[in-house]
Structure formats: structure tokens, C-alpha cells
Structure 1
Amino acid sequence: MSSSFFLKPGSKAGKKRKNPTAGAATTKGKPLKKGGKPGKSAKSGQSAAGPVPKKQRRPKEEDEEIASDDDEYNSDAGGNTLAFSSDEGEEETPQDKRLRLAKQYLTEIEKQEAERAEDKELSQSVEQRLQTEYLDSVGKLRRNIAGSLKSCDASRVLKHKIHHTPICSLALSPDGKLLFAGAKSQFLLKWCTETGEVLAKSDVLPHREEPETGKKRRSHIIAICLSTDMKYLALAEGGPHIQIWCPQTMKHLKTLKGHRDSVAGLVFRKGTHDLYSAAKDRSVKIWSLDEMAYVESLFGHQTGVTSIDALSRERAITAGGSDCSLRIWKITEESQLIYNGHKDSIECVKLINDEHFVSGGMDGAVSLWSALKKKPICTSQLAHGLGENKVANWLTAVAVVVNTDLVATGSCDGFVRLWQTNPNARKLEEIRSIPIAGFINGLVFNSDGTKLYVAAGQEHRLGRWWRHKEAKNHIVVVDLKLQSAASK
């Protein structure tokens, strides 16, 4: 390869000759005759006696190709020339990398599916797997697992002497191995769900800051939520402030201030560190835990907000309590959708997917909603029956297995009830009732719906209006046996 591929006019590589006497001096490639005029030197381009006349100057193209510099460059940089050409051939482009990773991903899926299916069904299994993962990523996946429920076992109990008061809130890690529990006390407990042991306990009282009124109050952990990557844990300790903890080390990180009344609900947007909080001051606030800072407030409810939930989209759904409305907040669009249907205060709401959600209220009704309709598409009145005073038992907790048809509700009638939802058929059917005494203050499913954790207590999590003396303050673990899980 000629040196003109590597050298440009005026480049320094062609001007590094320091010894003009090395080799014979030439003029236009011919040896200098004895006694003749000196020719042009390789270094300066000038003759010894002065400038060379124009007719004796070489063309510009000849200045770019110097024969002596060819030998020098090839001897010094010949190895680099070979390395440059080989690196250029082996460099992987972004398109090639994506293609290679896609082939590797498909190969792994084929190996996994080959263990479950025959060769003739392998392509269908891979296609179904890819379709399922895509629908899950866009929030449109729907799996029917309620119909495959075979039995329920509620014999396992988690109990600790520190939590001798009613359990108020639960939060489960994404992998289902860690459970965080709060009660009407100052302690936060971290449980191992496999062994049933307490891994850590933290006192939230020293990090609690009294409001400006200076009135003393008892610590009261009524809401807990975890970020998807298990980096942050947020809890509402009964006042207007939000405490941020590290769930791995159980160390306090920050106290967020901004609400003017007690915080009632907390939720992280899935896959992010964006925290949404709802409080009795009728506002919903957005926080960024990457900067540990307040972002903005959302207003619209006429009374205190009682519950909040969110999935992966930049939206949140809230229950407005006594104003009997549900609201979906479109944060990026700076707008809200209002839904009405309950006859009394709405106490809890949960998103099934991005298109459907379920709610429960003091009127004793469980309602199934579509985000495209202002009224519920299906309602089950008196879902938990009537109390001793002939008044409907109001719903205190709701849980769902996201992207499925399985829903759980709790009240104070002594049962946790499981429901099967079918938005297309406008149906909400009760399929099981699990006897658990006391107030059901919290419900949470694991990701595949095989376990349900129930926070039970003698009193309601928000007050002491009445008390069930026969109930116990503990966490009940309900094992749900599904036919699909058993067949695998």
C-alpha cells in the first residue's frame, strides 16, 4: 500500500528527515552532476544557492509522494498498518451486536422451551413466550389463573412480640423473598418469607419529626412501599412526613417534608425511583428519590385521599375517600380522569393492568372498572355481608395479581375473599373465602399469585372505632395451589 493512503499534504510524517546528507542529493530524481548546481533538498525544498526557479519546481502531486519517506514509514509503521487493517475488519457494528444478542436470546429461549415441549411444538412455544413478554412490557398482558385455583391453606402465621399491636401495612420484595411489615408501633420488621424469621428491625421513632404544632403522637406505620430494584423503602409513619430507608441495610436515608396532613398511601412507579404519595390534605405529591427532592403536587380531590396505586406508565390512580370519586392522573399530559360509582367513601383501589382496576368502599361494594368508562362495568354489592348493626361491612383492603384475573378483598367480617374478574363479560365472581378473624388491614400477592400475605389485627389501621377481642395481631400466609403451577 502506498504512503499516499496514510499521509496528507503538509503532514508532519513527511517532514521528519533530520539528516539531509543521508543518501545522494537529487534533482527531479536524477543524481547531481559533479560541479553542477546543487539540487532541491528533501528537507527544506530549497536549493543551497537560493530558491529554485518555477520551471524547476516539482508539481504538487510529486510533493505528496516522497520515495525516501516511503521506506522510512514502511520500516517504522509497517506493523501498525497491518494492525489497523485487521482491527477495521473485526470491529462489530451496533447492528451486528443487536443481531448477535437477539440470536443469543432466542437460543436461550429455545433451550428452555425445548425442555417443556416436543420439537414440533418448539416454534409455537418460542413465539408464545416472546408475545407474552412483549404484552407484559407494554402493560397489556392478561393471564387467567383464578379458574385454576385448587385449594387454599392459611395455616402458616408470622408473629413477633414487638408487633403486639394491629398490623397495618405490608410490602413484598419483587422476588417474594423479603416481607416488610409495619404496625401501630414504632418498629419496622423485615421478614424472610422462606424461613419465617425476622432478619432486621428498625425503630422509626428517632427519625420522626413532630409537626409545628408540637403535639405528641404515637408512631403509626400505615403505609409502606418498595422500589423495583430494592434500593429504596418509603414509609408513612402516621404524620405528614415520609421516611426513606435502605431495605438492604435498614438504615434511614432521608425524611421528605411537604404534606400538611397525615400521609395515607405511597407507591413507586414500576422500574423507577419516582414516588407518589397521597395524604389527608387532599393532595397527591410526586417525589424523585434520585435527587431526594419534591417534584410537584396534584390537586383535584375534595376530601382526604385514602389510597393510591401506579404501574409502569407515568400515571397514578387515587381514591378520594368521602368525595366518592376515583381519579387517574395523567402526569405528562397534566390532566385527570374522574370516575364515580360508589355510594359512600372509597377506601382502597388497585390497578389490574393499564386498562382496568378494582375498588372497594364503605358501602360494602367491590367494583370493577374500565379506564374508558366513567361508571363501573361490574359491581358486587354487600361483598362482605352485613354487620351486627345491619350495616354493610366496609372494605378495608384490596390486592390483585397484576395482569391476571385474580383479586382479593378484606373487611372485618372474618373472611378474606378471592374473586375472578372478567372485564369482557362484565363479571366479578367470588371463588373462595378464607376465614381470618379481625380487621384485614393489608393484602399483598407475590408475582405469580401462589402466595397471599394478610395483615390482620384487632383494630382498623386508621382508628380505634371498635375492637375484635378474639382476633390476633399477626401476618397470615395463605398458600394458593394453582393447577397450572402444579402441572409444571
Structure 2
Amino acid sequence: MSSSFFLKPGAAKQANKKRKINATKAKGKLSSKPGKRTQNATNAPPKKQRRAKADDEEIASDEEEYDSGNKTLVYSTDEEGVEEETAQDKRLRLAKKYLEEIEKQEADRVEDRDLSQSVEQRLQTEYLDSVGRLRRNIAATIKSCSIQCALKNRLHHSPICALALSADGRHLYVGAKSQFVLKWCTESGKVLDKLDVQPHRDEPETGKKRRSHVTSICLSTDMKYLALAEGGAHIQIWCPQTMRHLKTFKGHRDSVTGLVFRKATHELYSAAKDRSVKIWSLDEMAYVESLFGHQTAVTSIDALSRERAISAGGSDCSLRIWKITEESQLIYNGHRDGIECVKLINDEHFVSGGVDGAISLWSALKKKPICTAQLAHGKGENEVANWITAIAVVVNTDLVATGSCDGCVRLWQSNPNARKLQEIQSISIAGFINGLTFNGDGTKLFVAVGQEHRLGRWWRHKEAKNSIVVIDIKLQNTASN
């Protein structure tokens, strides 16, 4: 065997030491090349120095400083020496400004000794209104109801089907079984403008013309958008101020029966005979999503400020509250026949009317109605109940109005706590009541009257006149809250 394989004692240790030294030198040469992040261990600064350098970099920042003792955020000042306003300071400043405005407004109406009490009551009222818990009792303060006038126009010689009132109560938009929607001034009783639905309506592929039929109209709170159902599966979007066409939404597979804007938003909810509820965003002019659950055609829909909608399922005899953000729904049953219309009184209570002639008062917390008024509008000549065709409410109050084909509009007082729905007034109006809407304080009621029902031509009241009837409701000066 060759002697080159044998080492002297201690030679192995010296060889290992030389290999380590050579490796260290080679590592130092590589670290000296440009673009390499590796540092020579012998040239690395001590840990204390690196820590001090990092601390220096934090202190040099001029965006914000921290007081280590009190742990409070200290904001830097600008060149003029004015400190930046924090979010808490801004809220406090706006609250003080709002309180000063309310005090000025209330000071003009009340005496000094009642000023603080009046401001407190107003703040409480506005808070309850914002959270949907405000409730005013005005039904008991009604002194009289009378027909003020009837609005007619030759363009609406056919039955009136739908109407929508602006938030300030100055403009009324009316649709009928014709191609025109009219804009009325409620103060003068004159037509201010009109829009033609026909040119913006797509005909079926068969080429057959269908009858114009505006079944539903709704307005956004800020009067920026007007949505209408033009008798088919499409929804037209218009500008209510200029009466200019903006967009046509296509998505439903059958006729649209109901439309509503969520309060103070541009979020539109639609219901149709295709058993679906759809959500549309008018800020983006786009479709959002569809909600399914009803087994038959959806006949009515309503919404308030919360991101929820309530719909009536027609002959499936169910009401559904759609919790959109939670992606769930609540189902309510109680009518013996199809449900024609539904309206929210507030976020906790609602009222519905059906083909069985019953009017039901509901609580969102219970699956069955609190109380029901059977045969609310009597029976017809064939001993069949007169179905409820329209409902209107003054939001956050106890006043409800209903219509049918029995020749009168009835006013009701709702009391969920006492489980009562009591009739208080009746106004004679011949024909089908296809639409009802109150103004903000409940002193005016606008009624859409037609010789036929808004969704069909099953029978006809020849003695009725196609018009908008304005009912004047006189209230007492004081109302209990």
C-alpha cells in the first residue's frame, strides 16, 4: 500500500484548520463582489450598533411620533404650526355644529324655558327614525277625509296602474296601460312633462306587438333615478328631472310586477312573474344578484333603509323577508289564498293584503300574523271576497290605507301591541284601486283608479273613471308620540 495514505500524528488537525482558513478567505472574496448581499462575518458590525442604527431611522421619521410613557399618538404640525385634526375631534366638532343648528331652529318655535326639552325630544326622534324604531300615532288624530280633486289627462284614457310620489311631495309620476308616463305638479294639478316608453321597449323576436303596460314605478330618495316596469321582462331607468332615458335592465324571464328603491340609496329591488327577486346597482348601472325561494309569481315588493327586502309570493301564500347581507330569508304564512300586496310599516312590522280579502298585521319576529281583518272590503255580487289590490302606509306611524274594487278606500289604525287593526275612515271611489301612496306627513293620499285591474282584464267597471284621486286628510294640531 502506498505511503501517501498515511499521515503523521497531529497532521489531520492542521489540515482541517488550513481548509477552514481557505474557505473563510474564499467567502470574503465572494462577498466583495457587487450585487451580493452576503457579508463577511469578520466585517459584520456588532448587534448593539445595528440596533442603534435601526432606532435612529425610526426617530428620524417625521410622519408621527410616539410618547413611550403615555402611549399617545402625537401628530406633527405643518409649516404654519397648525395641528392636524383627529377623527375624534372632527366628530366632536360636527356634533357641536349640528346641535347649534337644531337650537337655532327650535328657538324660533318655542320659548327659552322649553328650548332644552324641545331639542332633547327632537334628537331622540331623529335617532329613533334613523334606527327604524320611531313610531307616531296619527290615526286617532284624523278629523275628516274628503276628495280634493281628480287629475285626468287624455294621454291616460286607459286604466291608471302605478304612481310614485317624490320625497318632498311636489311631483307625482303616474303610469297607465299606455305608452306614456306623466309628471304632475301636486300643487297646481298640471302636467309638467311626459316620457314615452314605447321607443325604448324591445319587442319579442316573433315581431308581434304587445300592449304597453306600465305596471310599477318607483323613485330614488334623491330624485336622481326613476325605474319603471314597461309591461314585459325589462326595467327602464329614467332621469325624473329631465325625463331622459338612461338604461334598460334585462335579466328577468317574465313580466316585472314590482319595483322599489332602498331608502337613501341607489339600490333597486325588482320582483317578477319568473318567481325571482333581483338586485340592481344604479351607481354602476349593473345587475348584482338574484334571490330565489318563491314557488309562484312574485306580486309585490317593498323595502326601507336596511339592506333587506320583503316580497309577496302570490298564490304560494307566503311572505319572505330577504336578509341580503346574511344571505338568508325568513318565511311567513297566514293567508288562505294568494297574497296581492305587502308594505313595511317600520323595520319590525308590516301589513299585507290578499285575494282572500283579508288584511294581516305582522311582526318580523313571528311567523304568523299578529291580527287579521277578514273580508276587509266585503264580498262581491258572486259572494266571493273582494281582494285587496293596493296598500299604503305612512312609515313609522299607525296609519294604513287599503283599496279594492268595492267602491271605497279604507283607512285603518294599526296597533301591534294591542293586536288590533281597526277601520277608522271610508272614502267612496268607484273602480279598481290599483295604487295608493301617502305624502310624508300623511295629510294627502293619492289614489290610482282604473276601470280594470293593473295586471289583467278579467272584468271591467264601466262607471269608474281612469284618474288620480287626491284625498285631503285633516289632522288635529297635536299628535301623541
TM-score, structure 2 normalization = 0.82
Alpha-carbon distance between aligned partners in 1 of 2:83 and 2:293, rounded to the nearest angstrom = 60
- Offset of residue 142 of structure 1: 0.6
1:209 to 202, 207, 230: 202
- Equivalent residue runs for 1:363-374 within 5 Å: 363-374=356-367
Aligned partner (choices 307, 315, 320) of residue 314 of structure 1 = 307
Mapping of 1:104-143 within 5 angstroms?
Answer: 104-143=97-136
- Would you say 1:438 and 2:428 are equivalent positions? no
Change in CA separation of 1:377 and 1:176 when aligned onto 2, cut-off 3 Å: same
The letter of the residue matching 1:306 is: T
Structure 1 partner of 2:449? 456
Q: What displacement does 1:105 show?
A: 1.6
Q: Which deviations, in whole Å up to 9, do the C-alpha atoms of 1:274-330 show, x marking residues without a partner?
A: 111000000011111111111111111000000000011111000000000000011
Partner of 2:232: 239
Q: State the 1:120 CA deviation.
A: 2.3
The one-letter amino acid of 2:273's match is: K
Q: 2:383 aligns with which of 382, 387, 390?
A: 390
- Once the 2 structures are TM-superposed, how far is the Cα of residue 204 of structure 1 from its aligned partner? 0.4
Q: Partner letter of residue 234 of structure 2?
A: H
Report matched runs for 1:2-21 at 5 Å: none
Aligned ranges 1:79-98 → 2 under 5 Å: 87-89=80-82, 92-98=85-91
Identity over the aligned pairs, expressed in percent? 82
Runs of 4+ in 1 over 6 A off after TM superposition: none
Matched, 1:302 2:295: yes
Question: Matches of 1:202 and 1:391 in 2, distance apart?
Answer: 39
Give the match's secondary structure for 1:270. Answer: coil
- CA drift of 1:85 comes to 7.7
| CA shift for structure 1 position 428 | 0.4
Distance in 2 (alpha carbons) for counterparts of 1:284 and 1:152: 37
1:347 partnered with 2:355: no
Residues 214-223 or 96-105, more deviating: 96-105
* Distance in 1 of aligned mates of 2:478 and 2:157: 35
Q: What is aligned with 1:100?
A: 93
Partner of 2:217: 224
How far 1:229 sits from its partner (Å)?
1.0
1:254 to 247, 260, 270: 247
- Residue 193 of structure 1 corresponds to 186
Return the alpha-carbon distance in structure 2 between the equivalents of residues 85 and 325 of structure 1. Answer: 62
Question: 1:98 deviation in Å?
Answer: 3.0
Letter aligned with residue 176 of structure 2 = A
Question: Does residue 1:359 correspond to 2:343, yes or no?
Answer: no
- Picking from 156, 165, 170, the partner of 1:172 is 165
Amino acid at match of 1:127: E
d(CA) in 1 for partners of 2:108, 2:310:
41
TM-score by length of 1: 0.81
Alpha-carbon offset, residue 119 of structure 1 = 2.3
Relative to structure 1, the CA distance from residue 86 to residue 296 in structure 2 (aligned partners, 3 Å threshold; closer, same or farther) is closer
CA offset digits 1:234-271 (Å, max 9, x no partner): 00011000000000100111110010000000001111
* SS of corresponding position for 1:389: coil
Q: Secondary structure at the match of 1:162?
A: helix
Residues 479 and 444 from structure 1, CA distance in 2 versus in 1: closer, same or farther, beyond 3 angstroms?
A: same
| C-alpha distance in 2 between matches for 1:308 and 1:91 | 48
- Kept in 1, the 8 Å contact 2:175–2:215? The answer is yes
| SS of structure 2 residue aligned to 1:434 | strand
CA shift for structure 1 position 92: 4.7
SS in 2 for 1:101: helix
SS of the residue 1:123 aligns to:
helix
> Deviation at 1:333?
0.8
Task: Give 3-state SS (helix, strand or coil) of 2:156's partner.
Answer: coil
Asked whether 1:326 is paired with 2:319, we answer yes
Between the aligned partners of 2:349 and 2:436, the Cα distance in structure 1 is: 19
- How far off is 1:486 after superposition? 10
**Is the contact between residue 353 and residue 360 of structure 2 (CA under 8 Å) also seen in structure 1?**
yes
2:294 maps to amino acid: H
Asked whether 1:337 is paired with 2:330, we answer yes
Counterpart-to-counterpart distance in 1, 2:276 and 2:128? 33
Look up the SS of the partner of 2:155 in the other structure.
Answer: coil
1:107 Cα deviation (Å)? 1.8
8 Å Cα contact 2:358/2:388 also seen in 1:
yes
Cα 1:451–1:366 change in 2 (3 A) is same
Contact 2:137 2:479 (C-alpha < 8 Å) held by counterparts: no
Structure 1: runs of 5+ lacking an equivalent? 1-83
SS at match of 1:107: helix
1:18-57 alignment runs, 5 A limit: none
Residue number in structure 2 paired with 1:263 = 256
Distance in 1, matches of 2:414 and 2:293, equals 29
2:472 is the counterpart of 1:479: yes
Q: Secondary structure at the match of 1:152?
A: strand
d(CA) in 1 for partners of 2:271, 2:147: 32
Q: Per-residue displacement from partner, 1:421-440 (whole Å, max 9, x unpaired)? A: 00011010000001111000
Shift of 1:90: 6.6
Matched residues in 2 for 1:426 and 1:486: separation? 21
Deviates further, 87-96 or 185-194: 87-96
Amino acid at match of 1:381: Q
Residues 69-88 of structure 1: pairs in structure 2 closer than 5 A: 87-88=80-81
Cα distance in 1 between the residues matched to 2:204 and 2:287: 18
Secondary structure (helix, strand or coil) at the match of 1:484 reads coil
Counterpart CA distance in 2 for 1:102 and 1:414 is 52
Deviations 1:408-466 (A, max 9, x none): 00000110000000001101000000111100000001111111000001111111111
- Counterpart residue type for residue 339 of structure 2: I
Flag structure 2 segments of 5+ consecutive residues without an equivalent: 1-76
> What is the CA–CA distance in structure 2 between the aligned matches of 1:85 and 1:435, rounded to whole Å?
71
How far apart are 1:213 and its partner, in Å? 4.3
* Counterpart code for 1:190: K
Please list the CA deviations of residues 364-385 of structure 1 after superposition, one character each: whole Å capped at 9, or x if unmatched: 0000000000000010001001
Question: Equivalents in 2 of 1:97, 1:332: separation in Å?
Answer: 30
What is the Cα deviation at residue 479 of structure 1? 1.0
Q: Match for residue 14 of structure 1? A: none
Equivalent pairs counted in the alignment come to 404
Amino acid at match of 1:369: W
State the shift of 1:195 in Å: 0.7
